[in-house]
Amino acid sequence: MIKTDVVIIGAGPVGLFAVHQLGIKGLKSEVIDNLDKAGGQCIELYPDKPIYDIAGIPKCTGEELTKNLLKQIKPFKTNFHFNERVQEIKNEDDKWIVKTNKNKVFTSPNIIIAGGVGSFEPRKLYVKDNEKYEGKNIFYSVNDKNKFNGKKISIFGGGDSALDWALELSKIAKVTLIHRREQFRGAPHTLNELKKNGKVDIKTKYQISSIQGDDNIKSIIIKSDEGKEIKIETDYILSFFGLIMKLGPITEWGLNMDKKTIKVNTQNFETNKKGIFAIGDICSYPGKLKLILSGFHEGALAARGCFKYAKPDEKL
Ligand code: FAD
């Protein structure tokens, strides 16, 4: 069990700045996010889009803002728990017990929910037996590319992730790239690069039809719109069909919900549960603006609220 002053759910821009506001008050936080990296919407939805409304920064991209926020909190040596969704919370002896879907357990007097529009989750590959092979032969992101060295990989998708990984993994593995449309959505220069190097077998207007294997995948069958079938020997499937946002378990924690947001007070952004705060896009109050700068303000005040419960005998 990990003991801390504050558990932060969500490593979007608002969760990251909350780490700073807690850190300068001497409070330790642990940050959990379902994604494999920090940045929330800034990094997943618009890494290259310019942002013009952060005080003191005339212009930066979503990716640059994330990098700067991470640099700003570096002194606090915060632990990040990526690829984990907070599933369950319960109160025991005036402390919150927080459990993730990977069974990691935290205990803390405070929880800050900075969950934005919900946890980002990969759109699943719909084919019989996918669950049997997920996490073993079917992946929705790449943590360690060395696993694929010398293997046969079928990559599904038409966006940047599919194109980038097809190009990268073709250096160490036999790659087939399968897309259900003729046109790819990803960057044209990556597609040109793929076609030029000729190492990746590209199949367009095909979709997965079935998987063959026992303990591990041996091959897959893909089917064209016209009904033509091709068998491809495959050790691993990488599926990049984009992300969906799910509010998920947050709705089951007994919080005062208003549609897909959590109602808070505007004094310290505490919810109807003592020691649970909500900031950023996920909170609602009269006049709420879904902007990063509003989330920073909310984080500053929530951090003061957390101090009261984490260090009840000390003065801020
Ligand atoms: P998010 O960025 O949504 O991050 C929430 C994180 O919480 C996610 O990473 C998610 O995976 C995680 N999470 C949720 N639930 C769980 C759970 N149960 N367990 C684990 N992790 C969980 N704002 C501006 O101020 N300026 C702009 O120029 C601007 N441009 C935008 C452009 C676009 C295209 C979009 C879509 C938004 C824009 N915004 C802009 C809005 C801004 O991005 C959001 O206000 C901001 O991202 C909110 O930050 P957040 O940290 O509250 O939530």
pLDDT of residue 247: 83
pLDDT of residue 68: 98
Strands (E), 127-273: 138-139, 152-156, 174-179, 201-204, 206-213, 217-224, 229-233, 236-239, 243-246, 257-258, 261-263
- Phi, psi at 224, each rounded to 5°: -85, 170
Per-residue pLDDT of the chain (316 residues; tens, 9 = 90+): 999 999 999 999 999 999 999 999 999 999 999 988 999 999 988 888 899 999 999 999 999 999 999 999 999 999 999 999 999 999 998 999 999 999 999 999 999 999 998 888 889 998 998 889 998 999 988 878 899 999 999 999 999 889 999 999 999 999 999 999 999 999 899 999 999 989 999 999 999 999 999 999 999 999 998 999 999 999 999 999 988 888 888 988 999 999 889 999 999 999 999 999 999 999 999 999 999 999 999 999 999 999 999 999 999 8
Does ligand 1 have an atom closer than 6 angstroms to the CB of 33?
yes
Look at ligand 1, atom 45, and give the residue with the nearest C-alpha: 291
Q: Which residues contact 196 (CB under 8 A, 6 or more apart)?
A: none
pLDDT of residue 121: 81
Q: What share of the chain is helix, strand, coil (3-state, %, to 5)?
A: 25, 30, 40
pLDDT of residue 190: 92
pLDDT of residue 179: 97
C-alpha 200/C-alpha 40 separation (Å) is 31
Ligand 1: which atom is nearest the Cα of residue 250? Answer: 18
Distance 79 CA to ligand 1 centre (A): 20
Distance 86 CA to ligand 1 centre (A): 17
Distance 27 CA to ligand 1 centre (A): 24
Does ligand 1 have an atom closer than 6 angstroms to the CB of 298?
no
Does ligand 1 have an atom closer than 6 angstroms to the CB of 299?
no
pLDDT of residue 261: 95
pLDDT of residue 242: 86
pTM score, two decimals? 0.80
C-alpha 28/C-alpha 268 separation (Å) is 18
C-alpha 35/C-alpha 105 separation (Å) is 18
Does ligand 1 have an atom closer than 6 angstroms to the CB of 170?
no
**Is-contact 68 16, C-beta < 8 A?**
no
